Amino acid sequence: MQQGNRFFDDLAKLMTNAMGVAQGARAEAETAFRSLLDRWLAERDFVTREEFDAVRAMAQKAREENEALKARIEALEAGKGKGK
C-alpha cells in the first residue's frame, strides 16, 4: 500500500511541475507577443489616445481663435468703410 501511495505522490509532483512549466511558457509567450505587437504598432506611427485628444483640443482652440480674429477683421473693415 505504501508503494501505491508513493506512485500517486510522484504523479502529483510531476503534474505540479508540468503546470509550473506550462504557466512559465504562457507568461513567456505573452511577453513575446506583447513585444512583437508593441514593435509593430511603433513601426506604423500610431498615436496614443492621449496624444490624439491633445492635438484635437489644440485644433479646436485654433479654430475658435481664427473665428474670433475673422470677426475682429470684419468689424475693423466695417468701421473703416464708415470712416471714409
pLDDT tens, residue by residue, 30-71: 999 999 998 888 888 888 899 999 999 999 999 999 999 999
C-alpha cell at 37: 505587437
pTM of the model: 0.46
Q: Which residues contact 47 (CB under 8 A, 6 or more apart)?
A: 55
pLDDT confidence bin for 82, thresholds 50/70/90: low
Please report the pLDDT score of residue 3 as a whole number.
65
Q: Residue 5 CA to chain centroid, in angstroms? A: 52
Please report the pLDDT score of residue 63 as a whole number.
98
pLDDT confidence bin for 8, thresholds 50/70/90: confident
Please report the pLDDT score of residue 4 as a whole number.
67
